Structure 1
Amino acid sequence: MSVTVVTPSDLAAAKAALQANIDAANKTIAAIQSAQATDETNISSVLGQLKTLTGQITALQQQVAALTPSPAPAPAPSPAPAPAPTPAPTPAPDPTPAPAPAPAPAPSPQPAGTLPAGVTLKDPDGGANYWAKFTGPTFPTSPSFFPIGVWYEGTSTADQVSFDSATGLNTYMRLITDSRLDLIKAGGMFACLHPDDLSMPNRGTETTSYMTEDEPDMIPGWWGAPTAQQMTDEQNRVAGLPKDGRPVYVNVGLGILSCDDGDADAQKYVRLHDFISADQYFYTEDTYEMCRTIGQGTNRLTDEQARRGRNYGIVVERMRAFAGYTKPVWGFVEAGAPSSTTAIEITPAQVRAAIWHCIIGGARGILFFNHSFSGSFQTQHVLRDAHYAPIRAQVQAETAIIRQIAPALNGPDAVGLVTASTGVKAAAKWNGGAPVVIAGNTDHTARTGAFTLAGSWSSVTVVGENRTIPVTGGTFTDSFPAETTIHIYQVNP
């Protein structure tokens, strides 16, 4: 059988001829479309040429197809070879481990300033700008100012004022006789004047308020709701103060604190004033009088029940309720050994716990009782005397933190932001979307506290402790090894 060999040049020549005829046909079509042939005879002639070219194109297409080589047929399969002997099995290689699953994506951070679902904001008692409503000189309205007072101290020299300011104090609550208001003003400090202080010269913007009396609810008497006479006496004290637009303060004691929750007379009494406090020194005083002050009936508290920082917060909470949550309540903390019967001195760790439990309980100011009537060193100037240098150092440390987070403390509570496990008391401040959580142990049991945060947060920084704790699935834990343990957390998006 003969085989026609088609060279590449044959195929190229046929394709070139085909393309030339196609080009000629296209030109003919273009001539018709552009009406270059203007009469019927010319059009017929052109159509004839087109018919001839079309025939030539068809013939050339067939020729090109015939010249194009067909693909080679697939080779026939070769017969299968005889099976080779099965070799001895070799150990199977270890399986390739499956790739590790991709880590779950981290939760989206809480959008800045966005309130998490289920969280509501509640203004501090009296409102964030409470002091602005008074027409006379009073406390600064700046969010960075948090009142920190000392009870019944003297200011006869500029050095004394400077020393107290360095301790972290900013307010004198009642003054010793030889005190000078001009030195308080020059030192950037403030004063709340007792009626005995009203004769002091140079009263000005340093004087932020007036007080009626210390523990007037116990004049006369000791326990129970104020009598009609006590109510009248206190109304007269308020009326006797200068009417110059400054707020009026009172510190109450066992009379009001021994009242049942919701007592109408106790409510009426404290609401005669613009801001209030109550003193009960759980770490140092005899326990016999403490049960009713925290609403625990008449059974005497054990030392374990009494010596708790949490009790200072309960006093603040009860006073807030008596005041109808309409005005600031300040917390009162002893700095030395105020009891003449027990001679117990407060420790630095207890000072820290009492301060922050007051704030957890809603205190809008802190006061220090500055006198030791017993103990290892009796003095009327605890925060100045070298014997109590460790107490002063602790007060300095805590007041520095208070100043650092004052805008948060003066702002709204973030209700529902944090839930703490049993045995830990916590409060959350919104702080414009950069929340602060304050937490403390409530008794003498060492425990691990567990916290659940609403919203999406990455971690908490423990203020003053140089450590950060991750928040996983909305929760974190921390250690509370002692009754006095306090942690302050900056919550991070």
Structure 2
Amino acid sequence: MKSIPAQASAILTSAFCLSTALLLSGSGVPPGPALTGSAANPLPSAEASAAPALREVDGGPGFYGRFTNPLPDALEYFPIGVWLESVLDPGDIAMDKNVGLNTYVNLTANSDTALLQPGGVHAVTSEPSPWTSGLVLADEPDMWAGPGSSEWTGKWPGQGEVCNPANTPCGYSVQRTLSTPIPDGTMKYANYGKGVSFWESNTEASVFVNEFQDVVSVDNYWFTDPNICGLGEGGGSLGRDRNLTDKECRLAANYGWTIDRVRSLVNPSGSKPVWAFVEVGHPAGEADAPTITGPQLKAAVWSSLIHGARGIVYFNHSFGGPCQSFHVLREPCGDDIRPWVTAVNRQITGLAPVLNAPFLDGALAHGPGIDTAVKVHGDDLYVFAGSAQAGPQTAELILACLAGASVPATVLDEDRTVTLSNGVFRDTFDDGNAVHLYKIGGAARTCAP
């Protein structure tokens, strides 16, 4: 395992320790209001909207191109990133590209950013560089500094009192202090945590989401976090008013809930990209916490995409469990998960023009057991569907715009087709990790307004 610089390691370790303490304590902060429905599939409904409507991806397809030294705004580019990785030589980039990564998010301080452009990859970093495409603000200040504008002392978790006066919130001041000096035209990115997703009111969380950065994410590790199922976190925010059962909590659809939560706070609605975080190992320090599996990872990624995520960021560190690493996707610790990451990244890359294309809202009806998104790309319709329940099911999907027609739909990467008869087709979803991706050739000519 390559070492990371002492300063970066100290900050990472102290942030992790403080976050762990917050997780274990529950922070004593009441959960935020529960959400209903979803942005990608607003509410389970027996019938589709009478008027299907096109909706551009959040921020618009050319969003990244508006910045200095931008991330690509080509339809063929979809950000597939890794968090706090190091780039010390061209071999590092080669390994990461082999699993389908194209973007580094918050490179370690000892990384050589001059290697990025020759390596054909992109990055947003904490320190300015002529070779990167944006700057990263503080990570998770909603948790370690809180929603408020008290004075920030300039100290990071583990270095002493963060806010002045002590025990008053200064998270807004942290982000404001870091973002204000950044030159106009530079893309700013920030990731938040359980404060925004669970503990803070909509008003408090909205300040973090809207006021400091151009691209935003929240990391909730539903498959591996030992505390996320509790009443003060997922249990309260998902409207159960109790601890979640494993079947309710360890569910890929909850990654989509996280995207919905953040998107619901963006103002104006749909005006900035929301990226998704998915773990690739064992991020919790507790040895008995779960480790994510390949099928879970694939389903979590696709749930995020179905619900409108405009980028995927993999959390590449295992702090606990039988194999600990800061470079899971490069080292033997990742041997089991790496093929799954590679496969889903290949899907994302191949479907990037579709993922960057408009949604067709209101076109598809189905029951509550699945989450879906309909995309329009050229003359074709794409339906992305993921299970939203733990058990097996047979789902019925209805495209009213194809009533009276009998047409095939190709199930991508499964070597099979299903037939839409009078606009209706059925498919099986074996468990909570089941995902099916359908292409209906030529259907956009009939269905898109």
Q: What is the 5 A alignment of 1:402-417? A: 402-417=348-363
Partner residue of 1:235 out of 176, 180, 191: 176
1:219-267: per-residue Cα shift (whole Å, max 9, x none)? 235xxx5566322232112113x30522101100011112467x22221
Query: Are 1:284 and 2:224 counterparts?
Result: yes
**Which residue identity does 1:450 align to in structure 2?**
E
**CA–CA separation in structure 2 for the residues paired with 1:209 and 1:293:** 35
Equivalent position of 1:207 in the other structure: 132
Structure with larger Rg: 1
**Count of aligned residue pairs for this structure pair:** 365
The structural deviation recorded for 1:271 is 0.7
**CA–CA separation in structure 2 for the residues paired with 1:417 and 1:388:** 40
**Which residue identity does 2:438 align to in structure 1?**
Y
Equivalent position SS for 2:104: strand
Whether the aligned pair in 1 keeps the contact of 2:148 and 2:173 (CA below 8 Å) is no
**CA–CA separation in structure 2 for the residues paired with 1:250 and 1:264:** 18
Equivalent position SS for 1:291: helix
The structural deviation recorded for 1:179 is 1.0
Query: Are 1:478 and 2:401 counterparts?
Result: no
Whether the aligned pair in 2 keeps the contact of 1:213 and 1:250 (CA below 8 Å) is yes
Asked which structure has the greater RCO (Cα within 8 Å, sep 6+), the reply is 2
**CA–CA separation in structure 2 for the residues paired with 1:367 and 1:181:** 19
**Which residue identity does 1:268 align to in structure 2?**
V
**CA–CA separation in structure 1 for the residues paired with 2:398 and 2:70:** 39
1:389-430: per-residue Cα shift (whole Å, max 9, x none)? 221111111111111111111111111222222301111111
Whether the aligned pair in 2 keeps the contact of 1:118 and 1:454 (CA below 8 Å) is no
**CA–CA separation in structure 1 for the residues paired with 2:198 and 2:257:** 13
Partner residue of 1:332 out of 252, 274, 277: 277
Whether the aligned pair in 1 keeps the contact of 2:408 and 2:440 (CA below 8 Å) is yes
**CA–CA separation in structure 1 for the residues paired with 2:241 and 2:324:** 32
Q: What is the 5 A alignment of 1:52-451? A: 118-134=51-67, 136-194=68-126, 197-198=127-128, 203-204=129-130, 206-221=131-146, 225-226=147-148, 229-240=170-181, 242-243=182-183, 245-259=185-199, 263-272=202-211, 273-286=213-226, 287-288=229-230, 290-291=233-234, 294-296=237-239, 299-324=242-267, 325-341=270-286, 342-451=288-397
232 and 283 in structure 1: CA distance in 2 versus 1, 3 angstrom threshold: same
1:174-218: per-residue Cα shift (whole Å, max 9, x none)? 112321111121111011111xx34xxxx33x4111111110111
Name structure 1 gaps, 5 residues minimum: 1-115
Equivalent position SS for 1:455: helix
Equivalent position SS for 1:330: strand
**CA–CA separation in structure 1 for the residues paired with 2:368 and 2:289:** 33
**CA–CA separation in structure 1 for the residues paired with 2:367 and 2:394:** 9
The structural deviation recorded for 1:443 is 1.6
Equivalent position of 2:46 in the other structure: none
Q: After alignment, is 116-125 or 357-366 more displaced?
A: 116-125
Equivalent position SS for 2:401: coil
The structural deviation recorded for 1:432 is 2.4
1:8-63: per-residue Cα shift (whole Å, max 9, x none)? xxxxxxxxxxxxxxxxxxxxxxxxxxxxxxxxxxxxxxxxxxxxxxxxxxxxxxxx
- TM-score, structure 1 length as denominator? 0.71
**CA–CA separation in structure 1 for the residues paired with 2:195 and 2:148:** 7
The structural deviation recorded for 1:451 is 0.6
Equivalent position SS for 1:258: helix
The structural deviation recorded for 1:316 is 0.4
Name structure 2 gaps, 5 residues minimum: 1-48, 151-169, 443-449
**CA–CA separation in structure 2 for the residues paired with 1:391 and 1:243:** 39
267 and 464 in structure 1: CA distance in 2 versus 1, 3 angstrom threshold: same
The structural deviation recorded for 1:294 is 4.3
The structural deviation recorded for 1:297 is 6.2
**CA–CA separation in structure 1 for the residues paired with 2:307 and 2:77:** 19
Equivalent position SS for 1:350: helix
**Which residue identity does 2:243 align to in structure 1?**
R
**CA–CA separation in structure 2 for the residues paired with 1:255 and 1:208:** 27
The structural deviation recorded for 1:374 is 1.1
**Which residue identity does 1:460 align to in structure 2?**
A
Q: After alignment, is 309-318 or 120-129 more displaced?
A: 120-129
User: Which protein has the bigger helix share?
Assistant: 1
Whether the aligned pair in 1 keeps the contact of 2:364 and 2:397 (CA below 8 Å) is yes
**CA–CA separation in structure 1 for the residues paired with 2:370 and 2:361:** 16
**CA–CA separation in structure 1 for the residues paired with 2:174 and 2:113:** 29
293 and 414 in structure 1: CA distance in 2 versus 1, 3 angstrom threshold: farther
Superposition CA RMSD, Å: 1.9
Whether the aligned pair in 2 keeps the contact of 1:291 and 1:299 (CA below 8 Å) is no
